[in-house]
Chains A and B, each alone.
Chain A
């Protein structure tokens, strides 16, 4: 069982959990288990079957893009992190949001 750390912008899709315990012995299997537990998360992490290019997955301290990507092996007690792209308190989704910072 590995742990996946959920960043703040994605917590609305995990019932506000900041970390989720997942099974699976690879990054892709772990993410599949995660999105199985929280289906609403899927569209934010995947584009079809591929992990979206702006989603950064780190295994312990390392970017999996420089390991074996989605095939990177995940061991017991490893920590996976999803690192979001955040731009500030003001997220420019629409003009309604032009309030902060």
Chain B
């Protein structure tokens, strides 16, 4: 499908490029597909980036460099060291700063001719329509299902194109969801996977370059869309496998029964997306999954240290994966590693006579395992609150935090 005209020629009447801008954009201007008219379209347009993280970094930098007139950024997070492996808009000096401040500074350094508007909030059902409404193109660079469904539904309700990119480990996806021209995200994924079937963080992670590749492709699609050139990704889904360097494409169709974009939608306003997906959208969320609501007995790192120092016999069970054990472990305290997927099958290796301390990275997987062990009759199991990372910060600074 060839793209439609997004920016009306009349809208360009008041747009001009200074001599400085002409020089800056000269490699665009000498291509007939862009030219003066195209560059003015870019200047007249506005793009909203949801998330200033992995995908948001290359997106914001390339869109600023390309001369998009107004770029909005939605993010509430602060830069930390674990971001720097892939979020190249932020530097080491930015750790601890708001991502929005750091990103805006980088963008205006690349191109002071663009306007950068920041929204320091999590995107929610209450604010999404208002934040999205002024923008021509929305780019979804989020990292969780509730915000993906929220972004999709808000785009459908407002009639906006949603340039979609998603990443996991070595795998990326790219499309444009625009209900006016083709399918939406819900046409492809009517429902989120149930929380328990989503691979756990033990299997998560992402190659640092992957969001660069996928984010750069999203930026390409946004610019093509604004210029009205080439073949857009509407109705197409690109699958990228970095490990095998394979690109595969499939065709997407509009679902005639789509709850949000069909002729008779059942969903005509934004809903509670955390409830819908059964997971929190962000770490400021007050949403608790049913399981997380059930507290398990906890032990704080300092209390564990006190009991160990007093000579009490405790059995420390580490339920992380072997590659995490290589990063940090409590081997010197007699900890035993059994990855969470194997615990039930290897329960006979646990000492039932003494109190069991279950430990993972930050305490969530170990809480799941304690609930599982309780079902199998283990009564004396305590969760190491905050996991080995909190132990490292409060008891043993010789261990790294990851």
Q: Are B205 and A100 in contact (CB under 8 A)?
A: yes
- Does A92 lie at the interface of the complex (its beta carbon under 8 Å from any beta carbon of B)? yes
Contact of B248 among A81, A99, A100 (CB under 8 A): A81
Q: Are A9 and B203 in contact (CB under 8 A)?
A: yes
Contact of B168 among A52, A91, A92 (CB under 8 A): A91
**A96 with B201, Cβ < 8 A, contacts A53-B190, A101-B54 known:** yes
Q: Which residues of B contact A12 (CB under 8 A)?
A: 199, 203
Minimum distance in angstroms from B329 CB to a CB of chain A: 17
Contact of B200 among A83, A84, A94 (CB under 8 A): A94
Contact of A90 among B87, B143, B203, B360 (CB under 8 A): B143
Q: Are A94 and B82 in contact (CB under 8 A)?
A: no
Q: Which residues of B contact A63 (CB under 8 A)?
A: 250-253
Chain A at the B interface: mostly helix, strand, loop or mixed?
loop
- Does B265 lie at the interface of the complex (its beta carbon under 8 Å from any beta carbon of A)? no
Among B63-71, B278-286, B310-318, the one that faces the other chain is B278-286
**A87 with B166, Cβ < 8 A, contacts A95-B292, A96-B365 known:** yes
- Does B191 lie at the interface of the complex (its beta carbon under 8 Å from any beta carbon of A)? yes
Contact with B along A1-27 (1 / 0, CB 8 A): 000010111001000001000000000
Interface size class of B (residues with CB under 8 A): 35 or more
Q: How far is the CA of A51 from the CA of B363 in the complex (A)?
A: 33
Minimum distance in angstroms from A93 CB to a CB of chain B: 5
Q: Are A96 and B360 in contact (CB under 8 A)?
A: yes
Minimum distance in angstroms from B131 CB to a CB of chain A: 19
Q: Are B168 and A8 in contact (CB under 8 A)?
A: yes
Q: How far is the CA of A43 from the CA of B193 in the complex (A)?
A: 12
Minimum distance in angstroms from B67 CB to a CB of chain A: 27
Q: How far is the CA of A93 from the CA of B193 in the complex (A)?
A: 10
Contacting A at CB under 8 A, from B186-233, are: 188-193, 195-201, 203-206, 211
Contact of A100 among B82, B243, B280 (CB under 8 A): B82
- Does A78 lie at the interface of the complex (its beta carbon under 8 Å from any beta carbon of B)? no
Contact with A along B301-332 (1 / 0, CB 8 A): 00000000000000000000000000000000
Q: Which residues of B contact A66 (CB under 8 A)?
A: 253
Q: Are A8 and B206 in contact (CB under 8 A)?
A: no
Chain A residue with minimal CB distance to B366? Answer: A96
- Does A62 lie at the interface of the complex (its beta carbon under 8 Å from any beta carbon of B)? yes
Minimum distance in angstroms from B128 CB to a CB of chain A: 17
Q: How far is the CA of A47 from the CA of B251 in the complex (A)?
A: 25
Q: Are A53 and B191 in contact (CB under 8 A)?
A: yes
User: Chain B CB within 10 Å — which of A44, A54, A81 has the most?
Assistant: A54
Q: Which residues of B contact A90 (CB under 8 A)?
A: 143-144, 201, 204
**A93 with B171, Cβ < 8 A, contacts A54-B190, A54-B191, A83-B237 known:** no
- Does B173 lie at the interface of the complex (its beta carbon under 8 Å from any beta carbon of A)? yes
A89-B205, A96-B363 given; name 6 further pairs at CB < 8 Å.
A83-B239, A88-B168, A89-B206, A94-B200, A96-B364, A101-B53
Interface residues, chain A, with chain B CB atoms under 8 Å away: 5, 7-9, 12, 18, 43-44, 52-54, 56, 58, 61-63, 65-66, 81, 83-101
13 contacts between A and B (CB under 8 A): A43-B197, A61-B249, A66-B253, A83-B173, A83-B188, A86-B166, A89-B86, A89-B206, A94-B200, A95-B283, A95-B362, A96-B361, A97-B200
Interface residues, chain B, with chain A CB atoms under 8 Å away: 51, 53-55, 82, 86-87, 142-146, 148, 166-171, 173, 188-193, 195-201, 203-206, 211, 237, 239, 241, 243-244, 248-253, 255, 277, 279-283, 289, 292, 360-365, 368, 387
Top-4 shortest CB links A-B: A96-B364, A88-B143, A89-B206, A97-B201
